Amino acid sequence: MDAILIQLLTGLAGASSLFLVAAGLTVIFGVTRVVNFAHGSLFMLGAYIAWSILVHLPRAPGWHAAGVLLAALATAGIGALLEIGLLRRLYRAPELLQLLATFGVLLVVQDLTLLLWGPNDLALPRPSWLRGSVAIAGARFPAYDLLLIGIGPLVLAALWLLFSRTRWGTLVRAATQDREMVAALGVDQSVLFTTVFALGAGLAGLGGALALPDGSANLQMDLTVITDAFVVVVVGGMGSLPGAYLAALLIALLQAFGVMLLPNATLVLMFVVMAAVLAVRPHGLLGRALAPARGEAQATALIRPASPALRGLGLAVLALAMAAPFLAGPFVLSVLTEALVAMLFAASLHAMMGPGGMASFGHAAWFGIGAYAAALAAKGLLMPMPVGLLLGPLLAGAAALAFGWFVVRLSGVYLAMLTLAFAQIVWAVAFQSDLTGGDNGVLGIWPDAWAQDPRVFYALALVLCAGGTLGLRRVLFSPFGYALRAARDAPARAEAIGLWPARLRLAAFALAGAAAGLAGAVGTYSKGSVFPTTISISRSVDALLMVLLGGVQTMSGPIVGALAYTGLYDVLIRATDLWRLCLGLIIIALVLAFPQGIAGAAARDRTA
């Protein structure tokens, strides 16, 4: 009984933390419709700024509170600058490009934080009043956690008052419901958006500053926090504050009690909750179907088969790639193999995202399943390489087929989030299971004797990856590909001519999963090892970046994007320690310059 009470309190404290993380994100999304990937970065900045302020202040509670508020205000200021400097220019861009830009911000903030505060975790020397605990039911419960339990609902109430009792709040709520109407009434939207963004950023900063006494300010915060925040916001219903609190409560309580029952499953639990909620309520607990946002309804680009010039260029590149074993040494060949793997990975995501209309945030799941399938076939079952190369796509495709059953009904951000959830589940399984070697991964997976020569393996990778990419392309220009695109362009019309959009999307989903699995299997034999990081969020984001850089709306986009991205990445990583900063700035610049992607821009120039 007592243990239950303590877990209940732990859960409530956890709920407050999660809510603080998610509140700002949901407020920003509700009004601006921007899914802000940099929200975790704002949280992290809040923690670092709070640290810098608090180490200079007296330790008394009053000073501490003042310092925390100051940090939140500073983060709000940063948020306002971010909105004015960047996001304002992107409100009319497709939502995935907004996401890409905010991911660029995340990269930039990571390196800037490293530059300003150094690589070490910064913990706050805790004064006695922060270390204290309260005796509850015979156990000692941290006093600070009790404080947190109160702060969550307090912030919810404050936000509720702000939104329901002020003119500004009324306008914001109106804008959440119908932006066009508010604009038509002559309200200055830019001020509204900037203040909303600042409020959201301030809430993130507040969350970061409040999280400081329980842990430290560190450089991993941004990605951990953004994942938590996404899950809470999506489970609660995007844009709904009470939904966010409810979701935070649900998840934190399940986690607190889950620890007692299934100590090893906590990582998975959060995402299982999310998958379950979205399967039953596709718009989250308290969310509603969104009116189409700006950018969503915009015209889709015309897709034509490659022009003779483009075809010639492609053939020339292919010929060069075929000649590479005779021209390049083992090192260059291994880099090229990586590029080939990346190309197939990107092409597989593009197939479901472009023509299929399903953007995925968790495409690394299929890549990882393929990679682990190959690795375990080699190390666990001692199978020859061709078996691994076959099992990879087969298992990934089968998993995608099973999972796709749940997700093809969803669309947009919700679909992206559910795929993210699934990828995190796969990641957690790989991370926590003995079979997969946990954090240590699976090592020592080498090609069979006949393919050990780097030139032979490269040739094999070229056949599989370039072949797979071209095969996907062919499929997209086949009747199936057209039917798939028809179902994306106008689902009701597609159904009225006898197509079955859900089935077509499911088939595309499975096909994309299998192709990504093949890429993963080839990658495993090329690297000789596989780790849980293969399934990490940043790996999924890599694929998204490649596709978006190349342009979703073009057929050669993923190829161009993958080659450009891996090239850029390799060059940057070799050239500078600040590669994240550079990459982030380049991404932001590219998004601002080519809101339709590189290949998309080229295509437009041709037709223009």
Question: By C-beta, is 44 or 504 nearer to other proteins?
Answer: 504
**Near other proteins in 349-388, by CB under 8 A:** none
Q: Which of 211, 252, 475, 515 binds other proteins (CB under 8 A)?
A: 475
Residue from the set 98, 337, 360, 553 that interacts with other proteins by CB under 8 A: 553
Task: Determine the interface stretch with other proteins among 135-143, 425-433, 449-457, 479-487 (rule: CB under 8 A).
Answer: 479-487
Residues that bind other proteins (rule: CB under 8 A) add up to a total of: 33
Which CB sits closer to other proteins, 256 or 347?
Answer: 347
Residue 461 or 466: the one with the smaller Cβ distance to other proteins is 466
Beta carbon nearer to other proteins, 140 or 474 = 474
Among the listed residues 308, 498, 574, 605, the single contact to other proteins using CB under 8 A? 498
Written as one string, the DSSP assignment of 490-524 is -HHHHHHTT--HHHHHHHHHHHHHHHHHHHHHHHH
Tokens of 231: 């899950």
Nearest CB to other proteins, comparing residues 243 and 355 = 355
Whether the CB-CB separation of 46 and 52 falls below 8 Å is answered with no
Report how far Cα 1 is from the mean position of its chain's Cα atoms. 39
Q: Rule CB under 8 A: is residue 446 a binding residue for other proteins? A: no
504 binds other proteins (CB under 8 A): yes
- Of 261 and 299, CB closest to other proteins: 299
Cβ closest to other proteins, residue 299 vs residue 382: 299
Shortest distance, position 600 Cβ to other proteins, whole Å: 12
CB nearer to other proteins: give 225 or 476: 476
Contact status: 474 vs other proteins (CB under 8 A)? yes
d(CA 565, CA 575): 15
Pairing of strands 122-123, 133-136: unpaired
Residues of this chain, 283-302, that bind other proteins according to CB under 8 A: 299-302
Tell me the CB-side half-sphere exposure of residue 101, using CA atoms within 13 A.
28
Considering the complex, state which of residue 355 and residue 561 has its C-beta at the smaller distance from other proteins: 355
Q: Is residue 473 close enough to count as binding other proteins by CB under 8 A?
A: no
Q: Which stretch binds other proteins (CB under 8 A): 16-24, 129-137, 475-483, 517-525?
A: 475-483
Secondary structure of residue 139 in the 3-state scheme: strand
CB-CB neighbours of 491 under 10 Å: 17
171 vs 168: CA distance, rounded Å: 5
User: What's the one-letter identity of residue 573?
Assistant: I
Residues 46-65 as x/- pattern, contact with other proteins by CB under 8 A: --------------------
| Residue 514 binds to other proteins (criterion: CB under 8 A) | no
Q: How many Cβ atoms from other residues are within 10 Å of residue 165's Cβ?
A: 10
240 binds other proteins (CB under 8 A): no
Nearer to other proteins, 168 or 480 (CB): 480
**CA dist 155 → 24, 49, 209, 245, 568 (Å):** 11, 20, 14, 10, 43
CB of 291 to other proteins, least distance (A): 14
Q: What gap in Å lies between CA 513 and CA 507, rounded to an integer?
A: 10
Residue closer to other proteins (CB basis): 494 or 518: 494
User: What does the alpha-carbon distance between residue 96 and residue 67 come to, in Å, rounded to a whole number?
Assistant: 36
Of the pair 168, 477, the CB lying nearest other proteins is at 477
424 φ/ψ angles, rounded to the nearest 5 degrees: -65, -35
Neighbouring CB atoms inside 10 A of 58's CB total 11
CB of 215 to other proteins, least distance (A): 48
Q: Is 518 in the site for other proteins (CB under 8 A)?
A: no
Site string for other proteins, 302-341 (x = CB under 8 A): xxxx------------------------------------
500 near other proteins, rule: CB under 8 A: yes
Q: In the range 261-280, which residues lie near other proteins by CB under 8 A?
A: none
Instruction: Note the maximum CA span of the chain.
Output: 79
* CA nearest to 305, candidates 294, 314, 292: 314
- Minimum CB–partner distance for residue 580 and other proteins (Å): 35
What is the rounded CA–CA span in Å between residue 427 and residue 373? Answer: 14
Q: How far apart are CA 417 and CA 581, in angstroms?
A: 26
CA 503 to chain centroid, in Å, comes to 26
Question: How open is the CA angle 132-138-142, to the nearest 5 degrees?
Answer: 25
Alpha-carbon torsion angle 243, 247, 249, 250, nearest 10 = 130
Based on the shown chain and the rule CB under 8 A, indicate whether residue 486 belongs to the binding site for other proteins.
Answer: yes
Q: Does 470 bind other proteins (CB under 8 A)?
A: no
| Binding flag, residue 505, other proteins (CB under 8 A) | no
439 binds other proteins (CB under 8 A): no
Residue 350, Cα to own-chain centre: how many angstroms? 16
* Nearer residue to other proteins within complex by CB, 234 or 516: 516
Query: Pick from 214, 448, 453, 495: which binds other proteins (CB under 8 A)?
Result: 495
DSSP string, 527-569: HSEE-GGGGSHHHHHHHHHHHHHH-TTSSSHHHHHHHHHHHHH
Give the footprint of other proteins on this chain (CB under 8 A): 299-305, 474-475, 477-483, 485-486, 488-490, 492-500, 504, 507, 553
